[in-house]
Chain A
Amino acid sequence: MPDVQTLVNEFLNQLKKRKIEGSQATAKQTAELLRSVISQQRVPHTNQTTALINAVRAVGEQLIAANPVELAVGNIVRRVLHIIREEDLSLATAAMAGLGVSAASDDEDDVERGENSVLSAAVVAAAARSTLRPPSLQTLLEDTSESAAAPHTSSSGGESDGRSRSVEKGSKSRKLKHDVLEAVNELIQDISTCYEQIAEQAVEHIHHNEVILTLGSSNTVLEFLYAAKEKQRSFKVFVAEGAPRYQGHLLAKELAARGLQTTIITDSAVFAMISRVNMVIVGAHAVMANGGVIAPVGLNMVALAAQRHAVPFVVLAGSHKLCPLYPHNPEVLLNELRSPSELLDFGEFSDCMDSASGTGSLHVVNPTFDYVPPKLVSLFITDTGGHNPSYVYRLIADYYSADDLVVKRRPTTGS
């Protein structure tokens, strides 16, 4: 336990100091941290699911608070919570099935009990469905929609645990943790290989002699373009430099080194060049539930220009970037202002500020992200294929449980 705590603290520190660059790295490290949290967590005999969930939540809450803008942290915390619930459910239903069979075998013994168990199996299944999925019209009139899902799950867990006492108790508790760890490992694997899966789809989207525009740098974009190049597609890439971080320079250098025809343009030339571009391919920081994108600063401008010239605006995003929150005022709330020193040198204006004698003032605005509304996005390419912005809500329903949306006790961001 103590060494987990130090791990957590270390990671928190890094998050707070913004030492971790990129959502993929953050996601991976978060998942790894949570894995060690889970493996260190001692599970009691009853209510193990709740214990695990609470442990993950406690850590997750801290992590999210450390860097609320890095949505990948929250995403991974929710993914892990979802995994725990899913594993619990699959265990429970497996136990139910076994129980149903056993009940059927000795039905003469106690008819009522058998009926009861079948009924409750249906109820539990419905309950499980409703906990893992957001509430829907289907569940509106059903009992379970009202009772808060979380306690229900725990009770069902306890119930099934109690009932399966006769079967094998010790192995189950170990099994849950084992399954969860397996699944988290799988998640980590997915995160580290997601760009490969995205890049595989490159050939379907990039054609010969096309002109691609991108802004800033993203590993996913790099791999995507390179994958198309590998498949003998010859095309040109315009790279907007992405001031004030100028990561476009890095990307351009890398692309040119890999043999792609690359041209660096200034960010201001995006509108001028977009009319000759066939497709805009960019990476994202996070994809929100409504299909909006939190992206490196400047991309909203690019997206508007692309819309003006009917150029497809394609966003590449691994599934760890899918965030189940709906953005409200995302330009401000999900943004982060960086140091003015990236724009102005320290002391550059100190001389004229003095002469202003307090009347004038100078602010420097240097945001990190842009919000691109869903109507400007043509397509998302994730590791599960291409999707419309209007379908993102469904992808999110696959990855997250409805009652994990608010990890924190007091909801301050998102729904």
Chain B
Amino acid sequence: MWWRSASFIMDRQQNEAALKGESSPNPNPNPKISAYYETRAAHHGVVTSDWLAQAQAAIGPEPDPEPQPRPDPEKPFSVIDEFNNWRKQPHLAEAVAAIRALAAVIRWSEATTMMQLEMELKKASDSLKSWDATSISLTAGCDLFLRYVTRTSALEYEDFNSAKSRLIERADKFGEISYKARNVIAMLSQDFIFDGCTILVHGFSRVVLQVLKLAAHNNKLFRVFCTEGRPDRTGLRLANELAKLDVPVKLLIDSAVAYTMDEVDMVFVGADGVVESGGIINMMGTYQIALVAHSMNKPVYVAAESYKFARLYPLDQKDLAPAIRPIDFGVPIPSKVEVERSARDYTPPQYLTLLFTDLGVLTPSVVSDELIQLYL
């Protein structure tokens, strides 16, 4: 089974409790597991049975059934639960889930003025952001929506209720936008995939898959090198999806990138977040692939929806909150051995060639322009 949602990956609370309480294979200095990457792994990752077993062992014999605070209609509304509900849908992007959750805030809000509503939203988005500080698109989605609300209120709608309904409507439409964005990106990138080219992709990205799907649909002749994408092995899933489309695929282990780079014509990666500098934050390994590609003069294309643009400016790898993921090495690791468990890295803009976004094809320098315009 290629795609199996691992049962152990449940709610963050459970995992955290388990990791805190039970002894994991390695002592975890920071028990805060990145929920974003957990979800990603759950949605896109390939989970082998032994990994599952090990993870189960790590969590404990029986994940204690923590009482899930299900939100009654009567109960006080929790934005996080709302968000988690949305988040469970594999095809829904994190930012969309965040915006949907915020829309629910508006829906249940008892505010009577725009100002109150904004305050409420701000609070909700802050709690969302602090709930998972590692997810950039969550943060970016919240910021984008808040910004939109303030801008809409600036437009001076005649009456509060209509403005409210308009906001809800927009938020509901946002999922559509994000879906549409993928298609736009796929369209834009078609020109860059020429017959006979070899494309290297890293990990699993819905946008990249969409791009390749469309290219295959357009009868382009190309071949794809997929990295394995450890530790979640998300690359295997992409390879599987592509094989279904009859695209020639070659699987590489993550460390074979430099070896194969001279055959590659372009590198396509997705992004978890696009930061102010025009660089991207993406799954671990992107940076080294970009470095290798840069040193061999191969173009690196990033496919990312514009709602992933975030007002962050990391200077180096350690300048962003680490997103911790459990890593399975197949063998027990002595407790003295430290394990680097960050799930993502930062790729500076000078190693990226172009960004394909729903705003068009952009050079990395445009990202800052867009962000400045939005948040000015």
Q: Is A302 among interface residues, defined by CB-CB distance under 8 A?
A: no
Instruction: Give the residues in chain B near A136, CB-CB below 8 Å.
Output: 359, 370, 373-374
A377 and B369 CA atoms in complex are apart in Å by 21
Contact with B along A307-334 (1 / 0, CB 8 A): 0000000000000000000101100000
Most B CB within 10 A of own CB, among A115, A137, A289, A393: A137
The stretch from A138-146, A148-156, A215-223, A276-284 touching chain B is A138-146
Closest to A123 in B: B155
Instruction: Choose one: B180, B191, B309; the contact of A411 (CB below 8 Å).
Output: B191
A119 and B371 CA atoms in complex are apart in Å by 27
Q: Is A413 among interface residues, defined by CB-CB distance under 8 A?
A: yes
Q: Is B248 among interface residues, defined by CB-CB distance under 8 A?
A: no
Instruction: Give the residues in chain A near B86, CB-CB below 8 Å.
Output: none
**CB under 8 Å from chain B, chain A span 109-152:** 115, 119, 122, 134-138, 140-142, 145-146
Instruction: Choose one: A146, A374, A391, A414; the contact of B177 (CB below 8 Å).
Output: A146
Instruction: Give the residues in chain A near B306, CB-CB below 8 Å.
Output: 137, 140
Q: Is B222 among interface residues, defined by CB-CB distance under 8 A?
A: no
Q: Is A355 among interface residues, defined by CB-CB distance under 8 A?
A: no
Instruction: Give the residues in chain B near A119, CB-CB below 8 Å.
Output: 158
Contact with B along A372-415 (1 / 0, CB 8 A): 00100000000000000011011000000010000000010111
A122 and B170 CA atoms in complex are apart in Å by 18
Contact with A along B349-376 (1 / 0, CB 8 A): 0000010001111111110011101100
Instruction: Give the residues in chain B near A290, CB-CB below 8 Å.
Output: 354, 363
Q: Is B329 among interface residues, defined by CB-CB distance under 8 A?
A: no
Closest to A119 in B: B158
A390 and B360 CA atoms in complex are apart in Å by 16
Q: Is B145 among interface residues, defined by CB-CB distance under 8 A?
A: yes
Q: Is A291 among interface residues, defined by CB-CB distance under 8 A?
A: yes
Q: Is B2 among interface residues, defined by CB-CB distance under 8 A?
A: no
A374 and B361 CA atoms in complex are apart in Å by 15
B126 CB to nearest A CB, Å:
20
Q: Would you call B174 and A393 a contact (CB within 8 A)?
A: no
Closest to B353 in A: A290
Closest to A138 in B: B374
A137 and B358 CA atoms in complex are apart in Å by 9
A391 and B309 CA atoms in complex are apart in Å by 19
Q: Would you call B360 and A140 a contact (CB within 8 A)?
A: no
A140 and B180 CA atoms in complex are apart in Å by 11
Closest to B265 in A: A329
Q: Would you call A326 and B374 a contact (CB within 8 A)?
A: no
B3 CB to nearest A CB, Å:
30
A393 and B306 CA atoms in complex are apart in Å by 17
Instruction: Give the residues in chain B near A393, CB-CB below 8 Å.
Output: 362-363, 365-366, 369
Q: Is B144 among interface residues, defined by CB-CB distance under 8 A?
A: yes
Instruction: Choose one: A122, A326, A390, A394; the contact of B155 (CB below 8 Å).
Output: A122
Closest to B350 in A: A375
Q: Is B192 among interface residues, defined by CB-CB distance under 8 A?
A: yes
Instruction: Choose one: A138, A326, A390, A391; the contact of B361 (CB below 8 Å).
Output: A326
Q: Do A415 and B370 contact each other (CB < 8 Å), given the known contacts A137-B144, A326-B354? A: no
Q: Would you call B361 and A289 a contact (CB within 8 A)?
A: yes
A325 and B177 CA atoms in complex are apart in Å by 25
Q: Would you call A140 and B361 a contact (CB within 8 A)?
A: no
- Interface SS of chain A: helix, strand, loop or mixed? loop
A191 CB to nearest B CB, Å:
26
Give the number of A-B contacts (CB < 8 Å): 71
Report the contact-size class of chain B (Cβ under 8 Å from the partner): 20 to 34
A141 and B99 CA atoms in complex are apart in Å by 11
**CB under 8 Å from chain B, chain A span 272-301:** 289-291
Q: Would you call B192 and A137 a contact (CB within 8 A)?
A: no
Q: Would you call A391 and B365 a contact (CB within 8 A)?
A: yes
Q: Would you call B309 and A137 a contact (CB within 8 A)?
A: yes
A245 CB to nearest B CB, Å:
28
A329 and B191 CA atoms in complex are apart in Å by 10
A335 CB to nearest B CB, Å:
14
A9 and B342 CA atoms in complex are apart in Å by 63
Q: Is B83 among interface residues, defined by CB-CB distance under 8 A?
A: no
Instruction: Give the residues in chain A near B268, CB-CB below 8 Å.
Output: none
A343 CB to nearest B CB, Å:
27
Q: Would you call B170 and A141 a contact (CB within 8 A)?
A: yes
A136 and B307 CA atoms in complex are apart in Å by 10
Q: Would you call B360 and A141 a contact (CB within 8 A)?
A: no
Q: Would you call A134 and B360 a contact (CB within 8 A)?
A: yes
A350 and B175 CA atoms in complex are apart in Å by 66
Instruction: Give the residues in chain B near A138, CB-CB below 8 Å.
Output: 151, 373-374
Q: Do A394 and B194 contact each other (CB < 8 Å), given the known contacts A122-B155, A138-B374, A141-B148? A: no
Q: Would you call A135 and B369 a contact (CB within 8 A)?
A: no
Instruction: Choose one: B307, B354, B371; the contact of A140 (CB below 8 Å).
Output: B307
Instruction: Give the residues in chain B near A402, CB-CB below 8 Å.
Output: 360
Q: Would you call B361 and A415 a contact (CB within 8 A)?
A: yes
A298 and B371 CA atoms in complex are apart in Å by 38
Closest to A405 in B: B360
B187 CB to nearest A CB, Å:
9
Q: Would you call B192 and A328 a contact (CB within 8 A)?
A: yes
Instruction: Give the residues in chain B near A329, CB-CB below 8 Å.
Output: 194
Instruction: Give the residues in chain B near A415, CB-CB below 8 Å.
Output: 188, 191, 360-361
Instruction: Give the residues in chain A near B188, CB-CB below 8 Å.
Output: 415
Instruction: Give the residues in chain B near A115, CB-CB below 8 Å.
Output: 158
Contact with B along A15-57 (1 / 0, CB 8 A): 0000000000000000000000000000000000000000000
Instruction: Give the residues in chain B near A326, CB-CB below 8 Å.
Output: 354, 361
A137 and B369 CA atoms in complex are apart in Å by 10
Instruction: Give the residues in chain B near A411, CB-CB below 8 Å.
Output: 191
Instruction: Give the residues in chain B near A414, CB-CB below 8 Å.
Output: 191
Instruction: Please list 7 pairs of residues, one from A and one from B, whose beta carbons are closer than 8 Å in the complex, sorted by A's number.
Output: A135-B358, A136-B374, A140-B306, A140-B307, A140-B358, A391-B365, A402-B360
The 4 closest A-B pairs by CB, nearest first: A390-B365, A141-B148, A328-B192, A137-B374
What would 5 more interface pairs be, CB under 8 Å, given A137-B306, A137-B309, A141-B177? A137-B307, A140-B177, A146-B177, A291-B363, A328-B194
